[in-house]
Amino acid sequence: MAWDPTQGQGQTGNGGQGQSGNGGPEPNPGNNAPQNPYERQGQPAGGADPHSGYGTPQNPYGTPPPQNPYGTPPQNPYASPSPQNPYGTPPPQYGTPPYQQGGYGYAPPQQAPRSIGQAIQELPNQYIRVLTKPSAQTFAEEMGKADWAMVWIQLLAIALIGTILGFIRSAIGLAAANSFSNTSGFNANAILALSVGGSTFSFISIPVAFFIVVGIQYLLAKAFQGQGRFLTQSYTTLLYQTPIYIASFLLGLIPILGGLVGIVLYIYSIVLNVFAIMAVHRLSGGKATGVVLIPIVVLFLLLFLCIIAVAAIFFAAYRSTTP
């Protein structure tokens, strides 16, 4: 009987795994991989030994490093977020302002609400700042305090002080008229009646004239693409007009010097008005000057035309009566 070489392959006896029926080692068939001589019997290759206390050995180098070898830098909790534009423009300052949409960037600072008593107490310091530091920056720092109550209080103060000083001036004129009436029969009571009526009328004429002038300037500023509010313009205008008007009333008691100083104060008020328009409406110096000077020039032209018309009427009447 011939010997079969495949006889007994893959069969195990009682001797254990990998032994043939005759008890010898099992031959390596075909392409099967040889057994690892260092593996324990019954343990799968590449796996953990279930009977070992150490389990699968871990990677001695830890987890693989991230793609960025330097890692993500930690965020600074105290750092402010970077702006969208890294080369962004600095915040608007009160000096030389940066250009913005249609003008200069005078932004009023945020002001805490104030009581009327506190606002009245702060007015003298505001007057001093505006008169002694004339600039658009000064008005920009003060315009955040604008309030309608303070606008009306200052207008009534101008009218009241003007009325009181008008009475004093009338009394001085009345004393001089009494001495004149003893010789010429001039009626001094007529002067007193006109003075009292004019002083009383100032409570109406001063607010009306003020809002007319401020309204014309407001419309011109809007025509030049101004961005301010009517309340803010009214408030900042009174910050220099109130002390200047009161000083003019006081100096009006002096016959000649008062008139000369009054002209100087009026010119200075025009300069302050330009700075106020620049700050409130964010306009350049040229545009703000135009807003202030255009109504004045138009008014002087109208007065000049009226004078010419009156002079022409009188001249025609004189020529008609002359033979």
Lowest mean pLDDT of 36-45, 52-61, 111-120, name the range: 36-45
pLDDT of residue 58: 57
Kindly state whether residue 37 falls inside one of the protein's structural domains: no
Q: Are 188 and 174 in contact (CB under 8 A)?
A: yes
Q: Which domain holds residue 177?
A: 117-321
Q: Are 90 and 98 in contact (CB under 8 A)?
A: yes
Most confident of 81-85, 86-90, 316-320: 316-320
Share of the chain above pLDDT 90, in %: 34
Assign 3-state DSSP to the chain and report helix, strand, coil percentages, each to 5.
55, 0, 40
Per the structure, how many domains does the chain have? 1
Q: What is the mean pLDDT of residues 74-100?
A: 50
Residue predicted with more confidence, 171 or 292: 292
pLDDT of residue 266: 92
User: Per-residue confidence at 238, pLDDT binned at 50, 70, 90?
Assistant: very high
Both tokens of 239, joined, read: 């910050």
pTM metric for this prediction: 0.60
Could you tell me the CA-to-CA distances from 272 to 14, 36, 164 in Å, in that order? 118, 101, 27
Mean pLDDT (the chain, rounded): 73
Kindly state whether residue 5 falls inside one of the protein's structural domains: no
Question: What SS3 state is found at 83?
Answer: coil
Lowest mean pLDDT of 34-38, 201-205, 219-223, 254-258, name the range: 34-38
Kindly state whether residue 39 falls inside one of the protein's structural domains: no
Residue predicted with more confidence, 262 or 240: 240
What residue spans of 78-147 are helical by DSSP H?
116-132, 136-142
Q: What is the mean pLDDT of residues 157-176?
A: 78
Both tokens of 146, joined, read: 């604008």
Q: What is the mean pLDDT of residues 140-144?
A: 89
Q: What is the mean pLDDT of residues 128-153?
A: 92
pLDDT of residue 200: 66
Kindly state whether residue 64 falls inside one of the protein's structural domains: no
Q: What is the DSSP string of 1-64?
A: -PPPTTTTTT---TT-TTB-TTSSBPP--TTPPPPPTTSPTTPPTTS--TT-SS-SPPPTT-SP
pLDDT of residue 205: 86
Kindly state whether residue 210 falls inside one of the protein's structural domains: yes
| Residue with token string 């009436």 | 181
Kindly state whether residue 287 falls inside one of the protein's structural domains: yes
pLDDT of residue 135: 92
Tens-digit pLDDT profile for residues 13-32: 444 444 444 444 444 444 45
Kindly state whether residue 253 falls inside one of the protein's structural domains: yes
Kindly state whether residue 263 falls inside one of the protein's structural domains: yes
Q: What is the DSSP string of 135-189?
A: SHHHHHHHGGG--HHHHHHHHHHHHHHHHHHHHHHHHHHHHHHHHHHHHH---HH
Instruction: Report how many helices (DSSP H) and strands (DSSP E) the chain contains, helices first.
Output: 7, 2
